[in-house]
């Protein structure tokens, strides 16, 4: 059984670590050996955040070897561009087209790229780009971006999408039952949007 390497990237407060944790718990439930690690730079203040998630029959290190990510799940467009070099040439990039400039941009140290999605596509990798924020607003809750992005990655995992969806919905049923149905819809919407963006 080969190892699946997933890099999740975004900015503080977007749910990068939560998304990674949900993916990890689902992989464990499916019988995989799982390792993960997180790097948070001023995450509470909108700084950059990324998580490495690896699972397979036996995983020795939580850190994805350079250039070996199978999937980049990016919650923000410039962060996708910043981490694209870590994705295999035949890997997949799923990107929320949201523009959320980190402090290094707002402070004037760096400029925001003109068209990060076009730059991603120019690498030759498979890019699925869509506005998760727009979907969340249509569903009436901006915090749904996390679930939408998990729906987007669900077709690119070595276990059934239904297992990931059920884990998300079950957690809401247990903690916040009123949000279970809307999160199920958010997952389906993210999955459908990513398929359409192919």
Alpha helices in the chain (DSSP H): 16-29, 77-83, 103-106, 116-121, 132-138, 145-153, 161-175, 180-196
Half-sphere exposure for 190 (CA within 13 Å, toward CB): 32
For the chain, what are the domain ranges?
Answer: 4-102+118-196
Q: Is residue 57 pLDDT above 70, yes or no?
A: yes
pLDDT class of 45 with cuts at 50, 70, 90? low
Predicted confidence band of residue 61 (pLDDT cuts 50, 70, 90): very high
- What CATH architecture does domain 4-102+118-196 belong to? 3-Layer(aba) Sandwich (3.40)
* Mean pLDDT across the chain: 91
State the pTM of this model: 0.92
Give the percent of the chain with pLDDT over 90: 76
CA distance 109 to 89: 30
Report the alpha-carbon distance of residue 181 to residue 140 in Å, rounded: 12
What is the model's pLDDT at position 100? Answer: 77
98 pLDDT more than 50: yes
pLDDT value, residue 188: 98
pLDDT of residue 49: 84
């Amino acid at each position: 059984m080969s190892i699946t390497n997933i890099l999740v990237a975004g900015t503080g407060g977007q749910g990068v670590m939560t998304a990674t944790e949900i993916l990890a718990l689902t992989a464990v439930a499916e019988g995989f050996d799982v390792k993960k690690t997180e790097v948070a730079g001023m995450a509470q203040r909108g700084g950059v955040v990324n998580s490495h998630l690896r699972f397979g029959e036996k995983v020795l290190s939580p850190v994805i070897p350079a250039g070996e990510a199978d999937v980049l799940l990016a919650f923000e467009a410039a962060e996708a561009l910043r981490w694209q070099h870590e994705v295999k040439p035949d890997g997949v990039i799923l990107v929320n087209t949201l523009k959320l400039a980190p402090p290094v941009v707002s402070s004037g140290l760096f400029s925001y790229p003109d068209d990060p999605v076009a730059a991603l596509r120019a690498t030759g990798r498979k890019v699925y780009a869509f506005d998760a924020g727009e979907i969340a607003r249509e569903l009436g809750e901006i915090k749904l971006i996390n679930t939408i992005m998990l729906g987007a990655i669900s077709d690119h995992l070595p276990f059934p999408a239904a297992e990931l969806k059920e884990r998300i919905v079950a957690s809401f049923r247990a903690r916040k039952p009123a949000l279970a149905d809307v999160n199920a819809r958010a997952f389906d919407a993210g999955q459908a949007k990513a398929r359409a963006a192919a």
